[in-house]
Structure 1
Amino acid sequence: MQLGKTQALQIAEKINSGWILKDEESSEKAFLPKIFIREEQEVGEYVEVFVYQDDDKLKATTEIPLAEVGEFAVMSCVQSLPSGAFMDWGIIKDLFVPYKQQKTKILEGKRYLVYIYVDEDMELITGTTKFKRNPQYEDLSFQKGDKVDLIMMNESELGWNVVINKQYIGLIYASDVFKKLYPLSEEKGYIKAIREDGKIDISLQPEGFENIDEFKQKILDRLEENYGLLYVSDKSTPEEIKDELQMSKKNFKKAIGGLYKDKIIDISDDKIKLL
């Protein structure tokens, strides 16, 4: 039975208050309270549940947590005590973050990025706000160019540290940031490079001519919003283009070049306009 993971367990027994679930590969059992039973199933059938602990007992829920063991999520603090903080992670049981696992003191009502793991000494699902910056990875589940989900962590001298697909930490270099970003916000990104040392570089925009249609559409949308006229051109500075369209000058020039070739826009020294 995988603690802190969603899995299919077999119904071993039915009692008035719920179901006893078992894992075929071990002798462990978990209790699924009646409040989470949505449809009638027979003993021996399987149900997909998330397994957690409550009062040193294994329990199951059909609720979907914000994250599982080995993942990051943004959570709100529901109670802060001297010994630690309880975080809302989307299920009936709150996640405990011990005081020693808090990078800064967690305050009630505030949101924090939390990593979930199993404490080996206590064998308990635990949260922490202390984690390595830009760690090294092996056998990643994605490759260069793949689109990924991001959680913004914090800004540094190099750029922005980010969480990738809830599981990995990567970096967006400052030179690749073309829009206003905020800690704990969610963004879409692209794998820019997986370096030999196992670190991951991220871009907020796809690279290459094969992705230029996305930038063309963004420019057309802004032109339509602005009555068919934008005061940027291939003579504009990278900063002016970034402020207006949140893209690099390189991608901007590729996109307007394609739009001009298709006779959709006209390009002047200081502006572009729809034809």
Structure 2
Amino acid sequence: MIQVGTLNRLTVVGEFPFGFQLSTGSDTEGLVTLPTAEAPANLAAGSTIEVFVFPDETGSLLATTRRPVIEVGQTGVLKAVNVTHFGAFFDWGLEKDLLVPLQHQESTVDLGMNYVVHAFFDRKTHRILGATRLHPFLNEHGENFFAGQAVDCLVYAKTELGFKVVVEGTHTGLLFHSDAFIPPRVGDAINAVIKSVREDGKLDIALQRTDKHGRDTLSDAILEDLDAHGGLSTLTDKSPPDEIYARFKVSKAAYKKALGNLYKQRKIVIDKQAIRRTEQKD
């Protein structure tokens, strides 16, 4: 079955002056037209090709060999290239821009700005549309996640409490300001962990693990970094937070705790200019 709004591998079942007819097989159900200008030179009857399928203004299915930034059901960062009284258009990598109707906008869209957009197939209009109001399309309840689980997140809004994020492309979560030691920007893709799953199933997110496993992992990373640099590092507990985050993706507080634990274990020595690996090794 042909999936509208996603990539499909289809077979050429017909050739015409204006293009090729594609299908899932030799049958003629669900034919898709690939314009000649979009087709590779060696395409012929019986060939298979991967294409993105979308409806035109009449509802007929067209195919393109171009790949959009996001497919139906996906969320990503797009740039607003036109704003009208009924909606905003976003560049998503295809010839025709993606429309985000006014009723699907979280807030006013400004021309030239980047926004986090979700693509969906609107059954009423039989069109692929976008939305910057994400909650209707994403799951707020993540009972299948667990505390400490590593997740990929996309920041889509800033609030008084913190930052709203898309978790693994399917769920929403909240990164509190207190857990955002390096404040992200809307549109940033971040590596994070599940801090907790609330009783109502909503997800709290953190930029690093704060349990014993997280601390042990950071300690191991510090020792490996020292070994890779001859047992010496100028990244001390006095270093700027952004330098610490750039190397270890953790807060300065977490780094200082890990250094303190390694010092107590006599695995490192610390002075004002550097930390050094002791000769004692695991």
Once the two structures are superposed, residues 179-232 of structure 1 have per-residue CA deviations (whole angstroms, 9 ceiling, x without a partner) of 1311112212223344453322222124545453446546958xx7x9626244
**Does the aligned pair in 1 maintain the 2:237–2:259 contact within 8 Å?**
no
Q: Percent identity?
A: 28
CA distance in 2, matches of 1:62, 1:218: 46
Q: Is the aligned partner of 1:125 residue 2:128?
A: yes
CA distance in 2, matches of 1:112, 1:229: 36
CA distance in 2, matches of 1:215, 1:13: 62
Q: Which moved more, 1:142-151 or 1:85-94?
A: 142-151
**Does the aligned pair in 2 maintain the 1:50–1:63 contact within 8 Å?**
yes
**Does the aligned pair in 2 maintain the 1:213–1:255 contact within 8 Å?**
no
**Structure 1 residue 126, shift from structure 2 partner:** 0.9
Aligned counterpart, 2:176: 173
Q: Please list every run of 5 or more consecutive structure 2 residues that lacks an aligned counterpart in the other structure.
A: 278-282
CA distance in 2, matches of 1:209, 1:148: 18
Aligned counterpart, 2:5: 4
**1:116 counterpart (101, 108, 119):** 119
Using the size of structure 2 for normalisation, the TM-score is 0.76
CA distance in 1, matches of 2:73, 2:213: 34
**Does the aligned pair in 2 maintain the 1:75–1:89 contact within 8 Å?**
yes
Letter of the 1:66 counterpart:
V
Once the two structures are superposed, residues 21-70 of structure 1 have per-residue CA deviations (whole angstroms, 9 ceiling, x without a partner) of 12359822211223333363443443222111222221112222111112
Aligned residues: 263
CA distance in 2, matches of 1:78, 1:241: 36
Using the size of structure 1 for normalisation, the TM-score is 0.78
| Matches for 1:252-271 after TM superposition, within 5 Å | 252-254=256-258, 256-258=260-262, 261=265, 263=267, 265-267=268-270
CA distance in 2, matches of 1:39, 1:195: 55
**2:251 counterpart (238, 241, 247):** 247
Pair 21,178 (structure 1): closer, same or farther in 2 beyond 3 Å: same
**Does the aligned pair in 2 maintain the 1:77–1:108 contact within 8 Å?**
yes
Q: Residue 230 of structure 1 aligns to a residue in which SS?
A: coil
| Matches for 1:139-218 after TM superposition, within 5 Å | 144-211=147-214, 212-214=216-218, 217=221
Once the two structures are superposed, residues 119-147 of structure 1 have per-residue CA deviations (whole angstroms, 9 ceiling, x without a partner) of 2221211112223298533685x655443
Pair 229,73 (structure 1): closer, same or farther in 2 beyond 3 Å: closer
Q: Please list every run of 5 or more consecutive structure 1 residues that lacks an aligned counterpart in the other structure.
A: 234-239
Aligned counterpart, 1:236: none
CA distance in 2, matches of 1:186, 1:214: 21
